[in-house]
Amino acid sequence: MKRTLYTSLVAVLMVLMLLLSACATDTTAATTDAAATDAAATEAPAASTEPQYITKEDLKADIDAGGTGYIILDVRKAADYAQSHIQGAYSADVDPTISNSDDATSTANLKAALTAATGSETGNGDEQFVLVCYSGKKYAEAATGLLQQIGIAAANLYTLEGGQNGWVDGGDDYAALMESGAAAPAADAAATAAPAQTAEATVTAAVDASEKLLTPDDLEAMLAEGNVKIFDLRDAEDYEAGHIPGAMNINNKQFENPDNPVDGEIATPEQFAALMGSYGITADDVIVTYASASKPQMAPRLIWTLECYGHTTTYLLDGQYEAWANGGKATETGATPAVEASTYEIISTENDINVDRDYVVNKAEATVLLDCRPSDQYSGETVADGNARGGHIPGAVDVNYMDAVDENGFFLSVEDLTQLYGSVGVTADKEIITYCQRGHRASHTWFVLTYILGFDNVKVYDGSMMEWSNLEELPIETGIPEGAVGTLDGAAAADGAACE
């Protein structure tokens, strides 16, 4: 009986142990499930990486209309961006994510591009972005996810359908909207960017500010379309040794008036029409000019002459021929090819950019006379050939025309040019009359003030010192009045002045 009782007690204990074990398991599972539920409830929803697309036709239409609808972010490798990208695109390399799962570097690159485009590394909330990758898939999906983590709404993100490859396949119209060149290293820019744009980011290159200035890539695209006539203003020997394909050689003497006693004066309408006709030019042609970096004034002189007669579809190659050749662009050699003559019709003989000595003598008091020669000619220390007297027109200030370009022949930034000319009171609110020796350098400065700085009241005194210095009844001033010579640092040269 005792044995039977013992056996029964053991059985009861075993049942109790099994029941306790089952309860503990249920409690642990319930706790685990609850924790998982809470975590899921507090976890941020994953960013949507499913792209919405924009066609190349729609993006091209926006660019053609001025490119105000979308900000383009090229998310391909930076090296591929530098080789070729859609006009106006910002480099935002996300290859670190694709190749090394390095989201931090890709995010820094994206933030740098956003800062460059909007002034904020998170955007301003209302911009719409187009992402460009190779074929419109993997890189764009990675960028879409990262941009949403930065704070860009999914609704504001579009992927270019077909990517860069699809754009290139669109043909010549799309190729014309391509450019090359590397952006500043994106990660570095992100590391140094302040909430607002840095001072460096606000520097505006002349070629970006001017509708008349072309880069070699711009000109190459125009050549591909075949709707441009190009004039090379260098010496014939230099032209024949190498020039831009299709360019025609011309020199300044050809568009001057040989019958005018003042050397260098603009050709008459009849003379100029005959000259342009001999080159096969019509009034509807788009004209591009270039010269050499060491003698750049001749190219804008031709532009000024064309515009005096109403022909305003004119452009200038920034950096001159050297920019083209040093950029590895195609060149050809030999003399100017024979062309079929045309009938060139003068569009207009009325203009407000060419004035004579009577206009200068009777100018308004607030008008600024701007001498574009070196300071030794301005002061009278050096007297140029053909001048009866040295010095300058009384009251004129001086900015050497070559001070507007750097050592490689490229125009200075808008900020530097504004400071340079502003240092002697040459500002957009005044009438400016430029002059030099024969009007060539004055035309160069006219171009800078008009088409880079946007002044709307700049004129060239065509007779310049070749005329003024040889008319004894007209006054001359020598020396350098205080503050009369423009500089970038604001310090102006002075050594006294004397009038004659």
What are the tens digits of pLDDT across the range 79-93? 778 778 998 999 998
The H or E element containing residue 189 is: helix 186-192
Q: What six digits make up the tokens of 68?
A: 């105000």
| pLDDT (0 to 100) of residue 465 | 97
> Does the fold of domain 208-326 match that of domain 53-199?
yes
| pLDDT (0 to 100) of residue 456 | 96
CA atoms within 13 A on the CB side of 140: 25
- Contact at 8 Å (CB) between 234 and 321? yes
Pairing relation of β-strands 496-499 and 477-480?
antiparallel
Rounded to a whole number, what is the distance in angstroms from the first to the last CA of the chain?
148
Q: Give 222-279 pLDDT, tens digit per residue.
A: 999 988 999 999 999 999 999 999 999 999 999 999 999 999 999 999 999 999 999 9
Quick one: 259 exposed, middle or buried, by C-beta within 10 A (0-12, 13-18, 19+)? exposed
Distance CA 110, CA 131 (A): 11
DSSP SS3 for 401: helix
| pLDDT (0 to 100) of residue 33 | 44
Distance CA 222, CA 339 (A): 20
Facing residues of 158 across strands?
A: 130
Distance CA 237, CA 357 (A): 36
SS3 string of 298-354? HHHHHHHHHHHCCCCCEEEECCHHHHHHHCCCCCECCCCCCCCCCCCCCCCCCCCCE
What architecture (CATH level 2) is domain 208-326?
3-Layer(aba) Sandwich (3.40)
Q: Which residues are catalytic?
A: 436
For the chain, give every domain's residue range.
Answer: 53-199, 208-326, 354-499
Dihedral sign, CA of 336, 338, 339, 343?
A: positive
| pLDDT (0 to 100) of residue 195 | 34
| pLDDT (0 to 100) of residue 183 | 58
What architecture (CATH level 2) is domain 354-499?
3-Layer(aba) Sandwich (3.40)
Instruction: Kindly give the confidence (pLDDT) of every residue in the chain, 500 residues in length, as a single tens digit, with 9 standing for 90 and above.
Output: 333 434 444 444 454 454 444 444 444 444 444 444 343 333 434 445 567 999 999 999 999 888 778 999 999 888 778 778 998 999 998 888 877 788 888 999 999 889 888 888 898 888 999 999 887 577 888 889 999 999 999 999 999 988 887 887 888 888 889 888 765 433 333 333 333 333 334 578 999 999 999 999 999 999 999 889 999 999 999 999 999 999 999 999 999 999 999 999 999 999 999 999 999 999 999 999 999 999 999 999 999 999 999 999 999 999 999 999 999 999 999 999 899 999 999 999 999 999 999 999 999 999 999 999 999 999 999 999 999 999 999 999 999 999 999 999 999 999 999 999 999 999 999 999 999 999 999 999 999 999 999 999 999 999 999 999 999 999 999 999 999 999 986 444 444 333 33
CATH code assigned to 53-199: 3.40.250.10
